[in-house]
Chain A
């Protein structure tokens, strides 16, 4: 069933770009829209008989080794939600229908790449699908074709090339000591192997490669430039899901499915996590550009996820996974809000904007919800995942990390609330603001949906913990 998630975008891409494109051009938005809805639906009803009976013929043709556990399911859900959001915002912001069709094609490529990366159980295939996602991302960042977006794309390209080189070397080393690329075979080989230095070398290279992709400090330098120079829908897509899939998911996957934890790797994860949490938050405080600030905030939040992973306990990993989902939701939401502000005022420098609350009530309310969720204020979703991560740190005896994580969340609150106040709640220049209206239907719909998800996840957390978190614990029980 799972291969449909890769094949459908692929087929859609081919069909939409056949010579009859003129006909399909208008359809492309609805195709991607339908595909992302199907993806969300599939996550909630994976055993639905419809898929099993009507699409069985694909299995006879394609023999893919795919499987989905809880982690993959969460990632698939996030991918669906963020793709949908980016699509809605793009429809609002990209007016030219030709370019919109191209953007939809890129979205389909990235979607196929990420779905594949999430579902594969083979290290080389993982690499290939990461490359798909990355290439699609470069093009998307440069989509506006101005000097800044080219610069951002180029930086991402260079740093990604370094990461790719590291990963491919690491894969070569893995093949060297295990003779295989399947996750479980590598895992057996590692347990039986005597080549400790080779294993360490490959794990180290993997770590560095994924750190670059995830944008952890000091591997983060491409991230603020790329996020802030990309067009708004692309920023949403990049921050919401691309870096999470290519960097964070892959990190979690190689630890839980291939390498397992030991003292050194745990220490590296914790250090990288805590440095990113603190420095990301501090750097965010003085940013003038809304999107750039959100980019640093993203670094900080990814740090939390890595901290949760670094606990090496099922509680910590459950917290990390939940935080991936929550972060996808609230960071996409905040980027949607930044897109709304950008389209309505034409500015991104926060010093020049103020007092939009009256004119843009939906944006104001939803962005406040997003900011509070990001800062970890109950009962919003971000609170629970941060709580799980900090609890896991505390239970694991990592008290210093726990305390620093809590303090940094105060910093998070500081920069997010000050910007909320500045943008929306203080009195602004009424003459300048007189022409401003609420953002269009697509953006408002996207932000309302995301805010609702963030709120609902938090409020109904007691139900979610039974259906999502406890199963995670079972998955990772073996480590």
Chain B
């Protein structure tokens, strides 16, 4: 195959983006069909390229090289991106019908696909940074076309991601300096002092793209303000894929991460904290999309935890979880979109009993919710077991955090399902119907994939994930099939049963599915923490805003005082001095003579001072 074909995944979506941006509103059919065709072509291309192994290095401006590399890992991510891109496009065809911003959305979507493909294929750190920063712009654009508050949220996302991208930029500069080259496939650095700094900086870029804490706070806001397909595409799947892809690249290839390294522990700690805190926030949400968005954050914790373990089982688990999460999280968002489209709201207080109206959506929700909670035999169960295995090997505390996260995840999805699809149906919701087929197909496809990846987990693990690690790291292990450690399975089952019992207890206590988690919400210590969290007390962005406002106030005060010195103080001083001097001019000539004589004295004194 021609090596130039490697450009196609970048160029084809770019063409789509241009087409979408220039198309008129009246030509809706043309817009939608071209979007569908481009997305489909992109997917087919990814499938064709899947088995290829292409490397391309072209000298570029300023002594940089335009270096792309297609191999099994990037081909795998490329395929995933193309797949989600296609499904989200298919879903959006119906969802966005009649929305003003449709052509803009498609434009940004294909631009995102193009840039994401570029970032995945790039084999040069600086080239990758170029695509990476481009994604920042499309992120901003896609959020900003949402509702009224969207611009503010877009700014927030832009600032947070921008800051972490700055860290990535510094990390790339340091890495390129340490390695002496910017070609990714040639970089293998040990984690000494400088190496650790470079690693942390690049990891910040990666995990912030994936949406880990403490770079998460824009995601729940975007869930409410941005168009829904955006949530299904970016925070749920694409950003996770890219972020975890980069994290895997830096932990597996570019830096030599071992189990003894402090960096490994650091990553695991970040993962564990993200799991717990985000899922606790998810538990108390009363909005479909916002609840999901917190899970999008929480699940990243598992991946970071898995990759951070630096043992093969954990890494395989983390990568497998990345794929799984992308699947079920995007499907969950799509069900959320379906509910929004039909019921007109995503607030859980107004929903309820939709299961009978939208059976297919409900079934898809059930499958994916079970998958995210780690119920066997769905895909989430297997990836989580692998992560548990790795975490237990590194420390009981991380395992404990993962298990608690699992418990709360299950509890929150029980609550969500109960509140949205079961329970009493209000009068307004009686006439709600199932969503059209083009919106159902993506959900069904993804839900089916969840089942397939669960039951036949050898398929993805053997052919997609284990090659990433390579034989050297695997040491002949094979992680597919049913988990071998029966202790872990037993604990998982116990936890799931506990979560179900907890839900029943909560329902009995509060009387409704919506308030099933209130007893946790109102627990003695947690209630205060939750109150603070709801006031965004723990949002680093808010702290940043406060700090910058403080800085601005201080600068303003300094500016005012400097202004005062120029404007008031010096002028008044000069004026009063001037008046004093004028007042000395009294008109008494004998006084004038005295002055002159005093001056003469001074002259003589000055003469005799050497």
Q: A282-B581, A286-B578 are in contact. Are A155 and B607 (CB under 8 A)?
A: no
Q: Are B574 and A282 in contact (CB under 8 A)?
A: yes
Q: Are A211 and B599 in contact (CB under 8 A)?
A: yes
- Contact of B606 (CB < 8 Å), options: A224, A264, A279: A264
B596 to chain A: which residues have CB within 8 Å? 159, 162, 208, 212, 218-219, 221
- Is A175 engaged at the interface, CB distance under 8 Å to the other chain? no
- Of B155-163, B204-212, B514-522, B587-595, the one with at least 4 CB within 8 A of chain A: B587-595
- Is A260 engaged at the interface, CB distance under 8 Å to the other chain? no
Distance between A268 CB and nearest chain B CB, rounded to angstroms: 5
Per-position binary interface string of chain A over residues 122-163, scored 1 when its CB falls under 8 Å from any chain B CB and 0 otherwise: 000000000000000000000000000001001100110010
- Is B577 engaged at the interface, CB distance under 8 Å to the other chain? yes
- Is B60 engaged at the interface, CB distance under 8 Å to the other chain? no
Q: Are B600 and A166 in contact (CB under 8 A)?
A: yes
Compute how far the CA of A125 lies from the CA of B587 in the bound complex, rounded to whole angstroms. Answer: 33
Compute how far the CA of A155 lies from the CA of B589 in the bound complex, rounded to whole angstroms. Answer: 6
Q: Which residue of B lies closest to A203 (CB)?
A: B607
Most buried by A among B595, B607, B608: B607
Q: Are B603 and A282 in contact (CB under 8 A)?
A: no
Q: Are B592 and A158 in contact (CB under 8 A)?
A: yes
A265 to chain B: which residues have CB within 8 Å? 607
Q: A204-B607, A264-B607, A271-B606 are in contact. Are A286 and B579 (CB under 8 A)?
A: yes
Q: Are B607 and A200 in contact (CB under 8 A)?
A: yes
Distance between A89 CB and nearest chain B CB, rounded to angstroms: 26
- Is B487 engaged at the interface, CB distance under 8 Å to the other chain? no
Most buried by A among B587, B596, B608: B596
Per-position binary interface string of chain A over residues 198-219, scored 1 when its CB falls under 8 Å from any chain B CB and 0 otherwise: 0010011001100110000011
- Is A438 engaged at the interface, CB distance under 8 Å to the other chain? no
Per-position binary interface string of chain B over residues 169-207, scored 1 when its CB falls under 8 Å from any chain A CB and 0 otherwise: 000000000000000000000000000000000000000
- Is A173 engaged at the interface, CB distance under 8 Å to the other chain? no
Q: Are B585 and A221 in contact (CB under 8 A)?
A: yes
Compute how far the CA of A283 lies from the CA of B598 in the bound complex, rounded to whole angstroms. Answer: 20
Q: Are A279 and B587 in contact (CB under 8 A)?
A: no
Compute how far the CA of A268 lies from the CA of B596 in the bound complex, rounded to whole angstroms. Answer: 15
Chain B interfacial residues counted at CB < 8 A: 27
Distance between A381 CB and nearest chain B CB, rounded to angstroms: 27
Within 8 A of A (CB), among B561-610: 574-575, 577-579, 581-582, 585, 587, 589, 591-593, 595-600, 602-604, 606-610
B595 to chain A: which residues have CB within 8 Å? 218-219, 221
A284 to chain B: which residues have CB within 8 Å? 578
- Is A330 engaged at the interface, CB distance under 8 Å to the other chain? no
B579 to chain A: which residues have CB within 8 Å? 286
- Is A406 engaged at the interface, CB distance under 8 Å to the other chain? no
B606 to chain A: which residues have CB within 8 Å? 264, 267-268, 271
B599 to chain A: which residues have CB within 8 Å? 208, 211, 218-219
Q: Are A283 and B603 in contact (CB under 8 A)?
A: no
Per-position binary interface string of chain A over residues 150-188, scored 1 when its CB falls under 8 Å from any chain B CB and 0 otherwise: 010011001100100010000000000000000000000
Q: Which residue of B lies closest to A224 (CB)?
A: B585
- Is A344 engaged at the interface, CB distance under 8 Å to the other chain? no
Distance between A452 CB and nearest chain B CB, rounded to angstroms: 33
Distance between B344 CB and nearest chain A CB, rounded to angstroms: 63
> What is the interface of chain B, defined by CB distance below 8 A to chain A?
574-575, 577-579, 581-582, 585, 587, 589, 591-593, 595-600, 602-604, 606-610
Q: Which 8 A-B residue pairings sit nearest by Cβ, starting from the closest?
A: A221-B592, A286-B578, A283-B581, A208-B600, A218-B599, A285-B578, A218-B595, A155-B589
Given contacts A162-B593, A264-B610, A268-B607, 20 further A-B contacts (CB under 8 A): A151-B587, A154-B589, A158-B589, A158-B593, A203-B607, A204-B604, A211-B599, A218-B595, A218-B602, A222-B589, A265-B607, A268-B603, A271-B606, A272-B603, A279-B581, A282-B578, A283-B578, A286-B575, A286-B578, A286-B582
User: What are 18 pairs between A and B in contact, CB < 8 Å?
Assistant: A158-B589, A162-B593, A200-B608, A207-B603, A208-B599, A218-B596, A218-B598, A222-B589, A264-B606, A265-B607, A267-B606, A268-B606, A279-B581, A282-B578, A282-B581, A283-B582, A284-B578, A286-B579
